[in-house]
Amino acid sequence: MNEREAPVLSVRGLSVRFLLPGGARVAAVTDASFDVAAGECLALIGESGCGKSVLASALLGLLPGNAQTAGTAHLGDLDLLTAGERTLAGTVRGRRVGLIPQSPAAHLTPVRRVRSQLAETVAALTGVRGRSAVRDAAERAAERAAFPAGHLDRYPHELSGGLAQRAATALALVGDARLLLADEPTTGLDRDLVDHTVDALRRHVDGDGGGGRALLVITHDLRAAERIADRVAVMYAGRIVELADAKAFFGTPGPRHPYSRGLLQALPDRGFTPIPGLPPELTDLPPGCAFAPRCPRATAACAAPPPAADGTACHHPHVPEGLSA
């Protein structure tokens, strides 16, 4: 990113708390800070329940009524966390931010065919007019997401999970939004379609001659993240514990945080060694490092909150010389 160019998305100190009956609080996201630059894909990775999807919902104002947020999330001069529903619904969702939801079938209108939903989105977001032109644009959108033309006249309940995912991807790409937020965009897809999908998302970021677009992708699929991402943000127990260049993270020198290292070592082609133990309950987080009970490098120092140096929140980060030990 040019030093003088503002990021497409700038998040600072984003926290989300859910208030439960009886007064308990769920610390779903804590003090998340990151930027996503024009022309960049940032992959947010981590185990289920770590807060990734909650973070995405906060950015689009889609949290339930018992949620409280703090911090800022600037999309240009607009703070997404304080914007009202009229602004978010009228000028942000679909137009400035495209969303590929985690549960696409639940976001598709059940009583309308896929073709109709694509055509409506094309007409609303692109300015294309005329039945034939809208129809052609809808079919091109489907093709872009590898959604088969023979299924365009089906209802959402007639689609497999993978087809519903591709339909949601096609809808999200229609508006050519400057920021695309993809929450588990490869769920239910076989490997070839995973590659096709992430390549389509990458083309959206790169654009024709560089369109100034950006992508925040939330995924469990580390192979997909490696294929598409410029940088990686690793989330654990609601906190971002590492921000790293993707090539360095997946290659040499590798991740610095022990949790990040454990995620890679759990892959079938990297040892297939699971991380022992379970993540902590978000209603009862420890005062120090939340990963310490599962960490082979933990010491008494980990009872205190870890420092965040060089993008890694850890008392005992790995260094290049130690990765081969």
Please spell the DSSP secondary structure of 266-314, one letter per residue: TSGGGT--PPPS-PPPTTS--SS-TTGGG-TT--GGGGSPPPEETTEE-
* Residue 3 counted as domain residue: no
Q: 148 and 193: one domain?
A: no
* Residue 152 counted as domain residue: yes
The residues near 103 (Cβ < 8 Å, ≥ 6 apart) are none
CA separation for the pair 210, 322 (Å, rounded): 39
Which of 131, 161, 176 terminates a domain? The answer is 176
pLDDT of residue 209: 47
Question: E strands, the chain, where?
Answer: 9-19, 25-36, 41-45, 67-75, 78-79, 97-100, 179-183, 214-218, 231-236, 239-245, 308-309, 312-313
Domain containing residue 136: 105-176
pLDDT of residue 185: 92
Among 201, 173, 174, 182, residue whose Cα is nearest residue 59: 182
Among 309, 317, 315, residue whose Cα is nearest residue 257: 317
Q: 147 and 239: one domain?
A: no
For residue 210, which amino acid is it? G
Q: 39 and 158: one domain?
A: no
* Residue 127 counted as domain residue: yes
Average pLDDT per run of 10 along the chain, which is 325 residues long? Answer: 75 97 94 96 95 96 97 97 96 94 87 97 93 96 93 96 92 92 90 90 77 91 96 98 97 96 94 93 94 96 92 93 45
CATH of the domain at 301: 3.40.50.300
Number of domains in the chain: 2
CA separation for the pair 107, 78 (Å, rounded): 25
pTM: predicted TM-score of the whole model, two decimal places: 0.93
Q: 76 and 197: one domain?
A: yes
Residue found by looking up tokens 């933990």 in the block: 298
pLDDT of residue 4: 53
